[in-house]
A and B are shown apart, each in its own frame.
Chain A
Amino acid sequence: RKEVEQDPGPFNVPEGATVAFNCTYSNSASQSFFWYRQDCRKEPKLLMSVYSSGNEDGRFTAQLNRASQYISLLIRDSKLSDSATYLCGTNSGYSTLTFGKGTMLLVSP
């Protein structure tokens, strides 16, 4: 089993839709969790950290389910500019992160 797994997508949604992605991780000792956004031919950019209690930043909500070992990202009221690949990363020891391969989101007019 891969350490971090994501559905590659693409998820095709219309503007204004709500969309959610999950990311499963295999290392039960993982302590820190992150969502990154990567635009085509650009570097991954930190979108948000994922806290145990869940956290929200505007239209974005991240949650952690330790029992089932997954994190989720919910995007409400999707914008065209949300089209990107979303990578999840987990801390598996010290300061290293292990990343999934990403989920592609395409928001259409």
Chain B
Amino acid sequence: DAGVIQSPRHEVTEMGQEVTLRCKPISGHNSLFWYRQTMMRGLELLIYFNNNVPIDDSGMPEDRFSAKMPNASFSTLKIQPSEPRDSAVYFCASSSPPPYEQYFGPGTRLTVT
């Protein structure tokens, strides 16, 4: 298996622009997670899906962030408009229960100038 695939790996954009991050989970996994990692806050869960349905989006910082999972093999995280404080590494992970071991993608390093 190729593992969790994320694109792009790096994204540099200007404040106010729309950013779309993409994720393909491991085939057969029915849970998908979006995380954000910064030095200050560590690894934070933004949202997670179970069987393509958003279950908990309480970690989404504000309305500028949205996520979708139109099918079992694809998810997007969108930031519109982007701000410099959104600069971070965004990871996607997938798992199949139990025991809920999560496998992470390589991440997208986002820089908003």
B106 touches A99 (CB 8 A): no
B100–A42 CB distance below 8 A: no
A37 CB, nearest partner CB in chain B, Å: 11
Interface residue A81 (Cβ < 8 Å from any Cβ of B): no
B42 touches A101 (CB 8 A): yes
The answer to whether A44 and B50 touch (CB under 8 A), given A32-B99, A94-B55, is no
Interface residues of A, dominant DSSP: strand
B80 CB to nearest A CB, Å: 25
Residues of B within 8 Å of A101, CB to CB, are: 42-43
B99:A43 contact, CB within 8 angstroms: no
Asked if A99 and B33 make an inter-chain contact with CB atoms under 8 angstroms apart, the answer reads no
With an 8 Å Cβ cutoff, the count of chain B residues facing the other chain is 23
Using a Cβ cutoff of 8 Å, how many contacts connect chains A and B? 49
Q: Mark A34-74, 1 if CB is under 8 A from B, else 0.
A: 10000001111110010000000000000000000000000
Complex: A46 Cα to B107 Cα, angstroms: 15
Distance between Cα atoms of A91 and B99 in the complex (Å): 9
- B100 with A95: CB separation less than 8 A: yes
Q: Which residues of A contact B99 (CB under 8 A)?
A: 32, 49, 91
Do A32 and B100 contact each other (CB < 8 Å), given the known contacts A94-B55, A95-B31, A96-B33? yes
Tell me how far the C-beta of B70 lies from the nearest C-beta in chain A, rounded to whole angstroms: 20
Interfacial chain B residues near A46, Cβ < 8 Å: 101-103
> What is A's interface to B at a CB cutoff of 8 Å?
32, 34, 41-46, 49, 87, 89, 91, 94-102
Enumerate chain B interface residues (CB-CB to A < 8 A): 31, 33, 42-43, 45, 48, 50, 55-56, 91, 95, 97-107, 109
